[in-house]
Amino acid sequence: MKKKVFLPMLAATLLFGMGLVACGNQGNSNGKQQTTSSVPARPKINATAPGDKKSVELEIDGEVQLTADQADVAWKSSDEKVATVDQTGKVKAIASGSATITASKEGYTSGSVSITVRKPAALGTLKMEDADHYAADGWWGTGDDGSTPLYARTSGNASDAQCIAHMDNGDKETLTFASDKAIKAELVVMMASRTAVDDLTAVMDVKFNEAAITPTNKALEGGSSSEFAEVSFGQVDIKAGDNVLLFEFKASAPYMDDVMLYSKEAATITAKPAAAKDAIVITNTELAVTEGETLQLTGAPAGARYVSSDETKATVDENGLVSAVAKGSVAITVIKEGMLSARVSITVNEKVVEGSFLTEFEAGEQEGAAITFKDATGGYRVTNAFPQGETLTVPINAPKAGKFTMIFVARIAYSVTFDGNLASAFEIKLNGNAVSTSVTLNGNSWTEYTIADVDLNNGANTLTLKALADNNPVNFDTIKFVPKA
């Protein structure tokens, strides 16, 4: 019996000695067995709110007493702008948001309680759409065609899918409401902006009952125009009777939705929508006229005044008589105090001179690399980006021989730095003869530029443009030839 016990034990001893077991002293050259020690886990502090809760919701100015299962812990708030805590564990809600209250003690793992602070239900909510819209340019709307009224922002997360939008320098909004008694309240406006606003005071002046007020947080994050955020203007004194909130804009302004009033005091707040305005109605709002001619606007009420958006294209007198000056588009705004304005879109057509004709630049051919063609306004196409040293050759088929004024429709290419001097960018030749020009292009809008008076042969002629500058700083559209008298 002793042998049966001894032999297995000996075999086991030999196996261990040969190092065939994966753990043990593998890799330890001195043959000593390695040992490890573990640190005892520190006990964790159990911090709780009443009801053994780990999270609490409070209204602003609300309080809650927290407790810990260890004595002499140190209490700390992660954000004292949201909630504070004293060394007894009493928490006070300061402003809407979230904070973590932590209890800590040497030798223990800290415990915590989450605090969410929210505003109480609003005492009153007012709609900015009820404000008395005023646009400094006389047009109760926005855009070149005046198609969008100031109030008609209908997308985004506005509370009713509609809010005030498209305010600009000089515009105003006046919102009036009544209270049945005098109280103090926090005034909050919902705002959104496509681009970040670093300082709202640079965008708008705000007055409440004629006293200037400023937002508590002057910055507004940019992004999607649908992302409305609360902007607080702090505590205001609401008086019994009518109260007036006035926004005066100094720059392109954020979108504005609801105005909320928060107070511990009870009161009845009643919105007083601005009186509806009658709209000026013009008989025809889309008209055309030829250069040098006139047309009469009809339908405006007595005492209305007229404003042209571009007097280089058309002027208008105090009676609504429009005089066409030059080819292009222009808007005439009809304004009368107390009424919604009207806008008339007018197209000024070019006066055709007998014997004039057009040639398109893309009818030409370029030596070397191919020209890139792009669609231009008016259904034309435009040559673009032929490199330095390349020549564009355009065939001209004149209806008769004689002296003509040559006019280019051109523009400076977008995102190109260029002083506009055409002669420095291109060498221009007609039938092999140099064409001198002192033209300076003045922007990236399609514009007619008179190049020079030239002599054309009856029938075939050849115009060449050699690029003197790389990157082609000019886009070309059409060439017009007008016979000289």
User: Running along the chain, 485 residues long, what does each successive block of 10 average in pLDDT?
Assistant: 37 33 32 54 94 94 95 96 96 92 96 92 90 74 52 67 82 94 94 88 96 91 73 94 96 89 92 86 89 93 90 94 92 84 88 87 68 52 70 92 94 81 93 95 88 96 88 83 90
pLDDT of the residue at 136: 75
pLDDT of the residue at 19: 33
pLDDT of the residue at 17: 35
Query: Who contacts 36 (Cβ-Cβ below 8 Å, separation ≥6)?
Result: none
pLDDT of the residue at 405: 96
pLDDT of the residue at 370: 52
Q: Where are the beta strands (DSSP E) in 193-254?
A: 204-208, 211-213, 229-238, 241-249
- How is residue 223 written in tokens? 């992004």
pLDDT of the residue at 149: 61
pLDDT of the residue at 75: 97
Side-chain half-sphere of 309: how many Cα atoms within 13 Å? Answer: 19
Per-residue b or e along 249-269, where b marks 16 or more CB atoms closer than 10 Å to that residue's CB: beeebbbbbbbbbbbeeebeb
Query: Who contacts 5 (Cβ-Cβ below 8 Å, separation ≥6)?
Result: none
* CA 289 to mean position of chain CA atoms: 36
- Residue 61, Ramachandran bin (φ over 0: left; ψ between -120 and 50: alpha; else beta): left
- How is residue 368 written in tokens? 């070397």
Gap between the Cα atoms of 283 and 299, Å rounded: 5
Q: Where are the beta strands (DSSP E) in 303-446?
A: 305-308, 314-316, 321-324, 328-335, 342-349, 357-360, 365-366, 372-375, 381-384, 391-398, 402-412, 426-430, 433-434
Gap between the Cα atoms of 195 and 217, Å rounded: 16
Q: What is the H or E stretch that residue 482 is in?
A: strand 474-483
Query: Who contacts 459 (Cβ-Cβ below 8 Å, separation ≥6)?
Result: 397, 398
Cβ 189 vs Cβ 219: under 8 Å: no
Exposed, middle or buried, 344 (CB in 10 Å: 0-12/13-18/19+)? buried
Q: Which of 356, 325, 359, 396 is nearest to 484 (CA)?
A: 356
pLDDT of the residue at 138: 65
* DSSP type of residue 253: -
| Degrees, nearest 5: CA angle 360-474-479 | 25
pLDDT of the residue at 64: 97
Q: Which of 296, 298, 295 is nearest to 281 (CA)?
A: 298
**Which SS3 state, helix, strand or coil, does residue 4 take?**
helix
Backbone phi, psi, residue 361, to 5°: -60, -35
Cβ 339 vs Cβ 349: under 8 Å: no
**Which SS3 state, helix, strand or coil, does residue 390 take?**
coil
pTM: 0.53
Q: Which of 90, 249, 260 is nearest to 159 (CA)?
A: 260
- How is residue 326 written in tokens? 């030059």
